A and B are shown apart, each in its own frame.
Chain A
Amino acid sequence: MDYFLSVFNLRFILILFSGSLIGLIIGALPGLSVTMATALLLSVTYSWPFYDAIALMIGVYVVGVYSGAISSILVNIPGTPASVATSFDGFPMSCKGNSKKALWIATVYSFIGTVFGLIVLSLIAKPLSKIALSFSPIDYFLLAFFGLTTVGSLTSKNILKGHISAFIGVMISMVGIDSIMGVPRFTFGSLNLQLGIPIVPVLIGLFGFSEVLEQISSQTSSQISLLNNNERVSIKEILKYWKISLISSAIGTIIGILPGAGAPVASLLAYDSAKKYTKKPKIPFGQGAPEGIAASESANNACIGGALVPMLTLGIPGDAVTAVMLSAFYVHGLRPGPLFIKENPQAFELIVLSTLIGSFFIIILGFLFIPVLSKVVLVPKKIMLPLIAILCIVGAYSVNSSLYEVSIMTVFGVIGFFMRKTGFSTAAMVLGIVLGEMMDSNFRRALSLSGSVRELITGTFFKPISIVIIVFIVLSVFLSIKNKTNAAKK
């Protein structure tokens, strides 16, 4: 206990708060990733005591994942890939004058998601990580395929165009050097394309820059979004989406535990499940449904606890940020693995507590900044649009300091603009891009491990994990068809 108190003091909390503030800024600015911030902090905190270094990183991680929602809601530029699904309903809500409510929903459900993931981490970390380890390549393929079945939820009008958008997204994800054979694919001799098409500039282009193009060419109102000065947000109103939040948090935690799947997949899957779960939403999904924000934000923040599970119990990072954190552990002489919790109970407890306090900082920072941030939408369009355009450029450039990536962002902005105009789905395309590489590499790995398609199929159907995922796929497809049929009848 004395040892615990010697570490856990005001200094520790202040460091955690500083990390949270950095996370708030980094996450909200498009192009600046939480992974990049933690990697930079790794070099800064090299000589710090272990607990201070970890407190700073956890602060950045927890609040950074949440704050990606801020730019998604206010200007339709996802601050992080994990907050793409938040923009589907967050930005329409903001456009209708409910930015404050949208930001509060994102804040509260990010908090709930983080706490949920944390509870799972502290209670059942070990058995869950063992299950995650038994996932084979075909299970990962099926999981990604399950993700692709959510296309129906991301396309409100023409489901055929939704699927075409998703498959084009999958094809885009395959541009570059093939990860298994090392052969360039669809690069047309370009050295830049050999590195693949970077996801962040694509996201900024498809959502942010296409919005600028749309607004400039339409010139409908003097502001992008409205601000409802009488907007009152009650706690009761915000907390009524708790059931969706719990389901989404569970999805987020499970996806977080699986190495390589990540928060973007979790939030898109949670968004889909919320759409299927909510029979009669007050506002349709995609047009400002609060349920969509609650689902996406609960899931992406629940991924934090999930991603920490395999990192602490097996020494396998669940996502890019935990991979950087893992190196911080090594730098300070700690070796996460099966015996880590037993041998370093104080370290484990402090990590859990730091994440818990970090989640409270989400609420505190939300309370401090939401009233100010919600006023961003008051800025007239003629001032706001050039600023968003410049933010898109800086965001795309800052990922790899490359003007080529700014060109990619611009090209995808134009593509996104025409997709909107012709009824295609940018969200479905993003889903394809996120899941494409995971599907491709795992499908081929599974095929080469089993020897033939026949063995692959027979092997798959006799594995419990695969059977569970297949059941989910069938259910997802069935519910999609049912929902579409019901919508068509109405």
Chain B
Amino acid sequence: MNFELILSMFFLIFSSFLIFLSAELLKYGPAGLSPGLFPMIVSTLLLILSLFWFFSLFKKKGDQINNNFSKGLWKLLVTIILTFAFIFLVPYIHFFYATILYVFILSMLSGQKNKLLNLIISFLSSAVIFFIFGKILNVALP
């Protein structure tokens, strides 16, 4: 099935879900002040736009979506997992060490082959960020 068609169907379901959630909110407060009023209007407009999009795909050939994700997919996934791992681990290991590790792995993913140079850069960048943000600017670091 066409990727664009799947996406438009996702938006149809998603906007319907938003309408359902907004309808739940309508019961709070008087009609004009209800917290569900504006979300209801916006999600209905979203549904109408999604319907337009869905039907327009049958009329003409849709935009060519650049869905060639597979090329760098593993790098993309590793970067996302690595970032969430950083968020999870940083309270347990110090920001300084977590940053060295993060920069080191991300540099490897970005094409840095020289491991010694990579280690030096990771250490230096972590130290510079720690010093500028943590010490000079007195910004709270994770």
Contact = CB atoms under 8 A, between A and B. Distances in A.
A332 interface: no
A161 interface: yes
A370 B52 CA distance: 47
Interface string B88-108: 001100000001001100110
A440 B25 CA distance: 14
Interface in A389-429: 389-391, 393-394, 397-398, 401, 403, 406-407, 410, 413-414, 417, 421-423
Contact of A390 (B33, B102, B140): B102
Nearest to A421: B66
Interface string A372-402: 0000000001110111011101100110010
A421 B71 CA distance: 13
B61 to A, nearest CB: 13
Contact of B35 (A181, A218, A389, A417): A181
A422 B38 contact: no
B80 A213 contact: yes
Nearest to A420: B66
Given A394-B129, A448-B33, A386 B83 contact: no
Given A171-B43, A387-B125, A212 B49 contact: no
Contacts of A488: none
A382 B65 contact: no
B71 A414 contact: no
16 contacts: A32-B139, A160-B52, A164-B50, A167-B46, A171-B42, A171-B46, A180-B35, A383-B121, A398-B133, A398-B140, A401-B140, A403-B90, A414-B80, A422-B65, A423-B65, A444-B38
Nearest to B28: A183
A170 interface: yes
B46 A386 contact: no
Interface string B36-67: 11110011011001101100100000010111
A410 B77 CA distance: 12
Interface string A194-216: 00000000000000010011011
Interface residues of A, number: 60
Nearest to A157: B63
Interface string A173-200: 0100010110101100000000000000
Contacts of A215: 110
Interface in B103-142: 103, 106-107, 109-112, 121-122, 125-126, 129, 133, 137, 139-142
- Which of B32, B33, B84 has its CB near the most chain A CB atoms (within 10 A)? B32
B102 A389 contact: yes
A202 B23 CA distance: 27
A180 B76 contact: no
A180 B42 CA distance: 18
B75 A158 contact: no
A439 interface: yes
Contact of B38 (A29, A391, A397, A443): A443
B87 A407 contact: yes
A36 to B, nearest CB: 9
B133 A386 contact: no
- Nearest 6 interchain pairs by C-beta: A217-B72, A386-B106, A178-B35, A447-B32, A382-B110, A382-B112
